[in-house]
Structure 1
């Protein structure tokens, strides 16, 4: 069994990072995730809990494919809990296929930074366990190395999504501003500057 953990700080408020983390895929930085399906979603006591099925594809050595029967297409179960009141988002993921030979558990926790509310702290950990006699240690090291490389892409992909969300917001704000301006001209209604600022703040 191999265990890996790291912490990372994002220079964005928690609500922005949590929104981007949930909408993280697809993104051009990490193209391994090829499909997402929502299995169930519930809101309980202000906490949004979601279950999703993720499909991903990884390039693996030919010998590993022959030995395990794993083609490189992976299906994983993801459980997420988003608590906006306490500013926390928990993500847990586990692979569903070839679990008798390989199990990968991943946990990510996004929380508001303890000393700076304009930043977000990510705590990430992964456990890789391989059950292949005589090859366990080598395979665990190989899969963990692959996981770490993909994990390094994660923050870059998240930053890309955040930029896309900002563009969506700016485009929407611009559209609303233009429509409000047109409405003012057509109806003769006028919104004081302070009211406009309230609407779009």
Structure 2
């Protein structure tokens, strides 16, 4: 059994600004649980799409009832892989994220699609989906319910964080911001890739999921 979540949001900002803010949303006061972010792969394809893979580390606070069931030495951090595809031709940003560790306890997969609104030129449409599952025998249902509640809370914070980044970009040129972001991230990716080259759990190239 898998818990499924889906919602649609109208972001009152142009797609260009939303994409620029997406890359610059951390750190922000609404996402203090996000500790680190690193670009591990980046490529511009022949059809001008930008493919990226990032590794994020977040805090992983367990509910009190779960702390009595799992080892005290269990890591309180969770590692997240984020794949993204920026399609400037069709003005579409697709992201797919999933957790690398604690997957037996709970697995959370999320897909977000940011798309230019045809009817409202100054609005970006966001469709967010999530699939939450657990393989803990006898406790999968309450764990999934907890995961769903936490996801709903975090996605509200995520939107506030994006809005915070958008407010910081007011008056800036989105095309320049995106270009500079890609340049800086490409340099950072080279450094990060060296340290992660031996990590078999982090593939070097994003999967083609769309």
TM-score range, shorter chain: 0.7 to 0.9
After superposition, the C-alpha distances for 1:35-61 in whole angstroms (9 at most, x for unaligned) are 001101000020000011010113322
Whole-Å Cα distance in 2 between the matches of residues 104 and 21 of structure 1? 20
Gaps of 5+ in 1: 173-201
Name 2:140's counterpart in structure 1.
136
Equivalent in 135, 142, 158 of residue 154 of structure 1: 158
Whole-Å Cα distance in 2 between the matches of residues 128 and 162 of structure 1? 29
State whether residues 65 and 72 of structure 1, in contact with CA within 8 Å, keep that contact through their aligned partners in structure 2: no
Equivalent in 92, 97, 101 of residue 93 of structure 1: 97
State whether residues 106 and 147 of structure 2, in contact with CA within 8 Å, keep that contact through their aligned partners in structure 1: no
State whether residues 68 and 101 of structure 1, in contact with CA within 8 Å, keep that contact through their aligned partners in structure 2: no
Name 2:111's counterpart in structure 1.
107
> More relative contact order in 1 or in 2 (CA 8 Å, sep 6+)?
2
Give the secondary-structure state (helix, strand or coil) at the position aligned to 1:144: helix
Measured at CA, do residues 168 and 31 of structure 1 come closer, stay the same or move farther in structure 2, by a change above 3 Å? Answer: farther
Give the secondary-structure state (helix, strand or coil) at the position aligned to 2:13: coil
Give matches, 1:18-37, under 5 Å: 18-37=19-38
Whole-Å Cα distance in 1 between the matches of residues 68 and 96 of structure 2? 29
Name 1:49's counterpart in structure 2.
51
| Misfit runs of 4+, over 4 Å | none
Aligned alpha-carbon RMSD (Å):
1.7
Larger Rg: 1
More displaced stretch, 89-98 vs 157-166? 157-166
Count of aligned positions:
170
Give the secondary-structure state (helix, strand or coil) at the position aligned to 1:4: strand
Report the TM-score when normalising by structure 1.
0.79
State the shift of 1:62 in Å: 4.0
